[in-house]
Amino acid sequence: MVVGVLALQGSFNEHIAALRRLGVKAIEVRKADQLEMVSSLIIPGGESTTMAKLAHYHNLFPALREFVKTGKPVWGTCAGLIFLANKAVGQKEGGQELVGGLDITVHRNFFGSQLQSFEAHLSAPELVSREGGPDIFRAVFIRAPAVLEAGPEVEVLAEYIVSSEKEDGHIHDKVAVAVRQGNLLGTAFHPELTADSRWHSYFLKMAREVKGGNSDSIVTVTSSPDLGLNNEEHAVNDLPIFE
């Protein structure tokens, strides 16, 4: 069993590289039948509308929804968080298709355009308690969404304080930017663009929990990992990794 990374568009190479640094085997997922080969799935950041169009073109939505229902861990980062939300606002005319599963309402471009991208140091007590390390982590927000509302079964793992931003007639002093609901994890930021591997490690442990503590549910590699890459060029990160 391996970790799958949806490779339609966006920072899938960076996620695969992050998993490789942890010694974990991963494959690119572009077709529905490839989901049968993986024990967990990462939906990366990117342009959510473009990703949705490509997923629709490849008829991936039914398979992705079924994968979520199986209880296998799925992690959505940035655009991936939008995909996993039950409801999204702030979309372009006509909206976009969603996978759903997370009982949240997400604002597609809460933090503004690409020019409003930023970094912040945030706290995540649950992450620290399970993974150790510093009390804060570096969060990279790129044209990022935010969680406006979360259902009772959703655990908020990290929040970002805002200056009374008005959204849909409400005033938000803080918004959730990392959430978990059972087998689903969502982050509005990009952990794959930093050298901090704790979010990836946290997700891998979710996969082990699904298997009842069976460490064989994740295949680790010690040398020359077969990452399911088409060629050596894909092993090069498209975006910078921040130390």
Whether residue 190 lies in the annotated active site: yes
Q: Which of 14, 149, 159, 192 is catalytic?
A: 192
What is the spatial distance between Cα 107 and Cα 82, in angstroms, rounded to a whole number?
A: 8
Is 153 part of the annotated catalytic residue set? no
Length of the chain (residues): 243
Mapped onto helix, strand or coil, the DSSP state of residue 54 is: helix
b/e burial code for range 25-57 (CB count within 10 A of at least 16 → b) = bbbbbeebebbeebbbbbbbbbebbebbebbee
Distance (Å) of CA 30 to CA 34, 51, 64, 99, 193: 7, 11, 11, 15, 22
Which one from 14, 28, 78, 200 is the annotated catalytic residue?
78
The CA distance from 47 to 32, in Å, is 20
Token couple for 118: 């930023």
| CA dist., res. 99 & res. 83, Å (int) | 5
Per 3-state DSSP, the chain is made up of helix, strand and coil in percentages (nearest 5) of 30, 35, 35
14, 101, 16: which is closest to 61 by C-alpha? Answer: 101
Q: Which residues are catalytic?
A: 78, 190, 192
